[in-house]
Amino acid sequence: MAIDYDKIMSLETKNQEFSYSDRETMLYGLGIGFGKDPLNNEELKFVYERDLKTVPSMATVISWGAGNMRESGINYLLVLHGEQRLKMYEPLPHAADILVDSSVKGVFDKGKEKGALIITETDIKLKESEKLLCTLSSTTFARGDGGFGGPSDGAPAPHSIPERKSDDEFFADTEPNQALIYRLCGDRNPLHSDPEIAKAAGFDVPILHGLCTYGTACRTIISNICNYDSTLIEEFNVRFSSPVYPGEKISTEIWSDDNVISFRCWVRDRNVMVLNNGKCVLKK
């Protein structure tokens, strides 16, 4: 069934209620790799309730399932997460009751054989004060839904990586059971846990969640660029390129230009780029 442009553009939800506690905050920290050294006091602050800190990228899981994109009519068997963008206005509390607004901001027809791009936006607010904490923007690549006759141009342009050699490169290990931990943050797609389903999808073993790779890149920048001060991050945007297998080492190339950090991530052992067009904006 072809995309109904007017219907999908009208999809929105207002003031959906969610809650999370310090337990979810600590689980997310563990899920993206903080706490590997339990004697590292800086990492401990992301996985232990004493002086608990939050990671900005946790915004991607605290309202898991928000919105009503299931009513869009797209073929979810052929859907990929293309891009993830995050704008922070206030640091996330380590526990909160929140209100979530979600809407579709754009749908772009790339052609019958090339699919469609769907841009959704999510605002997360504190329930008590309705103070806006952050805005998430996501690009979904619906591979089986092109050719519906909608506009072809206007999707957000990806951030350009500088042409010069990177200024630095940092490495982050993932664990063989990383996806089994991370899936408890909300995304229980069996592609990340069930070997038989992974094989049916064309993978030798279950793959790591793209948003776990996203969070791992955020952890790398917090640890190596921000001196563990996660409140410095104002924006964190990426384009997903290729999956990571749990247990692989992720290499993050860094370009620093004033308060803008450009980055991309690789699995060097396979010479595969897994995140591209990364942009992290820090507070001046």
From the list 67, 146, 187, 233, the catalytic residue is 187
DSSP state letter for 170: E
| Known catalytic membership, residue 51 | no
| Known catalytic membership, residue 207 | yes
Per-residue exposure over 171-186, b if at least 16 CB sit within 10 Å of its own CB, e if not: ebebeeebbebbbebb
Strand ranges of the sheet holding 116-126, from the earlier edge strand across to the other edge: 12-20, 96-109, 116-126, 132-142, 79-88, 233-240, 272-282, 260-267, 249-257, 168-173
Q: Give dist(CA 183, CA 121) in Å, integer.
A: 22
Host H or E run for residue 97: strand 96-109
From the list 118, 207, 221, 254, the catalytic residue is 207
Q: Give dist(CA 153, CA 211) in Å, integer.
A: 26
| Known catalytic membership, residue 94 | no
What size, in residues, is the chain?
284
From the list 119, 192, 225, 250, the catalytic residue is 192
| Known catalytic membership, residue 37 | no
Q: Give dist(CA 23, CA 48) in Å, integer.
A: 9
From the list 210, 215, 221, 233, the catalytic residue is 210
Catalytic residues: 187, 192, 207, 210
